[in-house]
A and B are shown apart, each in its own frame.
Chain A
Amino acid sequence: MTTLTDGQVERFVVADRRRISWARCREDIAPFVTRHVTWRALAAGDIRSKYRRTLLGPWWITATNAITALIMGTVAGRFLGADMKTYLPHFMVSMTIWGFISSSLSEACYTMINAGGMIKAVDMPILIHIMRMVQRNLIIFLHNIAIIPFIWLVYPWSVGFGAVLGILGLMIVYVFVVSASMIVSMICVRYRDVPPVMAAVLQLLFFISPIIWEPSSIRGGEFIVALNPIAYLLAVTRGPLMGDVPNLATWAGAVGIVALLTAAMIYIYTRYRSRVVYWA
């Protein structure tokens, strides 16, 4: 879609989907920038719609997270015999970040499939469906993370200026979630056997990532952490937030993983974007 000098829009499509040019690539991914208002407003509407007629509205998300923290801190802590002063903050921060990643990826399996009707009815860039879903999960994440300062008040840990780097880490995680969701979503709409497989993969990732356990507590199998992309993402977000700024190699690892994934996403999107309507 190009805008002509007299303000008209022109669309020229030639059926040669196998050829990928920079111009086409740019045109396809431009809506990531130009249409952000659309998905932000749609996602905000989704959240409003979900919590309509409830007392707390979206703050229910925060409330349920607070209840989890309370149960973890009072009951489960006794069973595990862990030192809640250090374990509870670790557990809550990890679960909040992992929650954003895993709920986005599991929703991504059905985002394009469920949007099928709309994809066939409206000429809207399909990346908006993904961005809307990720934005929804981001809103949930931000409500979830609101509980963290309260946990800090109860079980304080040392927070320095390094925590600012946590925001950089969260940006890296955001880009990861967008790229991974897009790829997963496009594969799932084409191969309908993938969603259940994806659920199993997410479960596996949950257990092999330092979410409920701390990297320092494992006995053997350290190479799994070194190869696990989720471990890097957690290290650059949870690390700074909890006063443990990771080394440069870890940052490089996280950025490298996300850059590769994003490049793959842009290729897949440009190459197969126009086919999704036939698969949905």
Chain B
Amino acid sequence: MPLIEAKHIGIEFPVAPPNARSFRHLAIKAASRVGGRVSKSEGSFQFVQALDDISFTLNRGDRLGLLGHNGAGKTTLIRVLAGIYEPTRGSLRVVGRNVPMFDIGLGMDEEASGYENIRTRGLILGLSPEEIEQRVPEIAEFAELGDYLELPIRTYSSGMLLRLVFSIAASIHGDIILMDEWIAVGDAQFRKKTHDRLQEITLRSGIVVLASHDHGLLRDTCNLGLYLDGGRVRAFGAIDDVLKELPAV
């Protein structure tokens, strides 16, 4: 039974060594709508309160859309749920296996072949070599890169690279999909394919958390919405109600 239970989660980022501080401080102050609140605590260190008192519970079948300005804390919250940032306040319970669908291209080796990169990426994502071998044919088929998989990925076009990266990410099975923006990659044909695959994955999985600025997409995909503003929950509930809370553009 997949479950996410966040209770009063807070995240404080320590930022900037003292010499870089003044400029940053001014910049953040000037654009007060953007970003979390900057506060000074714990000696001479500055902290950005990226998330503040976030509480919600997600059960099987919930698809949560995260909304908010740039710097409202959407990406940070996704990373907290993924287990990358440990909350500095509150508690988090996650039952089920995560499928991270963000930063999916990290750790690729330019000189290594497509096949080797599939293996490296699989290892980083926590698969065993045997599990990876089982998936290689499926990934290769989905990416439609054919013999190119034998070549170093520096020979790939950017679109081909995205195909490979997406195919690897989409082959991971789990209960909780975490997505920072809906991924749209490649040419029209592949874009359709990724869209279909993502829908299939989100339908199959227990819980989906999707951060996006695309209101139409969020309305189509999600049943719940969480509107973040300056790291705080501005609204949480049915997606249609939350979308109404957003300031008109």
Residues of chain A touching chain B, judged by Cβ–Cβ distance below 8 Å, are: 4, 8-15, 17, 37-38, 41-42, 45, 48-49, 52, 117-124, 192, 274, 277-279
Contacts and interface: CB of A to CB of B under 8 A. Distances in A.
Given A122-B125, A123-B83, A11 B93 contact: yes
A15 B93 contact: no
Top 4 closest A-B pairs, CB basis? A121-B103, A274-B86, A123-B83, A14-B91
A122 B109 contact: no
A123 B124 contact: no
Contacts, number: 103
B107 A15 contact: no
Interface in B73-112: 79, 82-98, 100, 102-103, 106-107, 109, 111-112
Contact of A123 (B10, B84, B87, B95): B84
Contacts of B100: 121-123
A261 to B, nearest CB: 26
A124 B86 contact: no
Contacts of B89: 15
Contacts of B85: 277-278
B129 interface: yes
6 contacts: A8-B175, A9-B97, A37-B123, A45-B120, A49-B116, A192-B17
B128 interface: yes
Interface residues of B, number: 42
Contact of A49 (B2, B13, B111): B111
B1 interface: yes
B129 A121 contact: no
A174 B14 CA distance: 34
A8 B1 contact: yes
Contact of B126 (A4, A124, A277): A124
Contacts of A118: 106-107, 124
B91 A8 contact: no
A8 B95 contact: yes
Contacts of A192: 17
Contacts of A49: 109, 111-112, 116
Interface of B: 1-2, 10, 13-14, 17, 79, 82-98, 100, 102-103, 106-107, 109, 111-112, 116, 119-120, 123-126, 128-129, 175
Given A9-B97, A41-B119, A122-B100, 20 more contacts: A10-B93, A14-B90, A15-B87, A15-B88, A17-B88, A37-B123, A37-B129, A38-B123, A45-B109, A52-B112, A118-B107, A120-B103, A121-B106, A122-B107, A122-B124, A122-B125, A123-B82, A277-B86, A278-B13, A278-B85
B174 to A, nearest CB: 9
Given A10-B95, A38-B126, A118-B124, A15 B86 contact: yes
B84 A42 contact: no
A117 B85 CA distance: 13
A42 B117 CA distance: 11
Contacts of A8: 1-2, 95-97, 175
A111 to B, nearest CB: 14
B111 A120 contact: no
A164 B170 CA distance: 49
A274 B88 CA distance: 10
B126 A13 contact: no
A116 to B, nearest CB: 11
Contacts of B91: 12-15
A11 B1 CA distance: 13
Contacts of B86: 13, 15, 17, 274, 277
Contacts of B102: 121
